[in-house]
Amino acid sequence: MAEHKIFVLDDEPDIGRYVAQVAELSGVDSTYFSEPGEFLSAVESSPEACVAIDLQMPSMDGIEVLRQLSVLQFRRPIIIMSGMDRKVLEAARHFAKVNKLPVSDIVSKPARVEELRQIFQKLQGSTYLLPTKSELAEAMKRREFQLYLQPKVRIVEGLRSGADYIPIGFEGLMRWDSPTRGLVPPDVFIPLITAGHLNGEFADYLFDCAMVTLEGWRQAGIDASLAINMSASDVEDLGLADRLWKRCFGMGIDYGKVIIEVTESAAMRHPEQALDVLTRLRLRGFSLSLDDFGTGYSSLVQLQRLPFGELKIDRSLISDCIASEHTRIIVKAIIDLGHNLGLTVVAEGVEDQATLTLLHELNCDLAQGYFFARPLPAEQANAWWLKHLEAGVMPARP
Ligand code: C2E
Ligand code: CA
Ligand code: CA
Instruction: Identify the CATH number of the domain in which residue 58 sits.
Output: 3.40.50.2300
In a shared domain, residues 73 and 177: no
Q: What is the DSSP letter of 143?
A: T
Rounded distance between C-alpha atoms, residue 387 and residue 188, angstroms: 33
Distance 295 CA to ligand 3 centre (A): 10
Whether residue 226 is contained in a domain is answered as: yes
Distance 363 CA to ligand 2 centre (A): 21
In a shared domain, residues 59 and 142: no
Q: Which ligand is nearest to the CA of 346?
A: 3
Q: Which ligand is nearest to the CA of 150?
A: 1
Whether residue 395 is contained in a domain is answered as: no
Q: 56 is in which domain, residue-wise? A: 4-126
In a shared domain, residues 252 and 143: yes
Distance 315 CA to ligand 3 centre (A): 7
Q: Which ligand is nearest to the CA of 71?
A: 1
pLDDT per residue as tens, the chain (398 positions): 346 889 999 999 999 999 999 999 888 899 999 999 999 999 998 888 899 999 888 888 888 899 999 888 888 889 998 887 777 888 888 889 888 888 888 888 878 888 899 888 887 766 556 788 999 999 999 999 999 999 999 999 887 667 899 999 999 999 999 888 888 889 889 988 998 999 999 999 999 999 999 999 999 999 999 999 999 999 999 999 999 999 988 888 889 999 999 998 899 889 899 999 999 999 999 999 999 998 776 666 777 888 999 999 999 999 999 999 999 999 999 999 999 999 999 999 999 999 999 999 999 999 999 999 999 999 999 999 999 876 655 444 44
Inter-residue contact 28 to 22 (CB < 8 Å): no
Whether the CA torsion 231, 234, 240, 241 is positive or negative: it is positive
In a shared domain, residues 168 and 89: no
* pLDDT in the model for residue 3: 62
Q: Which ligand is nearest to the CA of 183?
A: 1
Paired sense of beta strands 366-368 and 145-157, if any: antiparallel
* Closest ligand 1 atom to Cα of 186: 30
In a shared domain, residues 70 and 193: no
Distance 268 CA to ligand 2 centre (A): 16
Whether residue 397 is contained in a domain is answered as: no
Whether residue 113 is contained in a domain is answered as: yes
Whether residue 195 is contained in a domain is answered as: yes
Which of 233, 229, 283 has the alpha carbon at shortest distance from 260? Answer: 229
In a shared domain, residues 119 and 138: no
* pLDDT in the model for residue 114: 87
Distance 312 CA to ligand 3 centre (A): 7
In a shared domain, residues 81 and 146: no
In a shared domain, residues 177 and 234: yes
In a shared domain, residues 161 and 105: no
Residues having CB within 6 Å of any atom of ligand 1: 150, 173-174, 185-187, 190, 206, 229-231, 261, 291-292, 315, 348-351, 368-370, 375
Rounded distance between C-alpha atoms, residue 187 and residue 106, angstroms: 23
In a shared domain, residues 56 and 92: yes
In a shared domain, residues 73 and 93: yes
* Closest ligand 1 atom to Cα of 292: 3
* pLDDT in the model for residue 63: 87
Whether residue 398 is contained in a domain is answered as: no
In a shared domain, residues 309 and 359: yes
Residue nearest to atom 9 of ligand 1 (CA): 173
Rounded distance between C-alpha atoms, residue 52 and residue 33, angstroms: 10
SS3 state of residue 261: strand
* pLDDT in the model for residue 397: 42
Q: What is the DSSP letter of 256?
A: G
Domain boundary among 105, 126, 147: 126
Domain boundary among 126, 143, 173: 126
CATH of residue 152's domain is 3.20.20.450
Distance 160 CA to ligand 2 centre (A): 31
End-to-end CA gap in the chain: 46
Domain boundary among 104, 126, 148: 126
* Closest ligand 1 atom to Cα of 314: 3
Residue nearest to atom 35 of ligand 1 (CA): 186
Q: How many distinct structural domains can be found in the chain?
A: 2
* Closest ligand 1 atom to Cα of 230: 44
Distance 85 CA to ligand 1 centre (A): 34
* pLDDT in the model for residue 216: 95
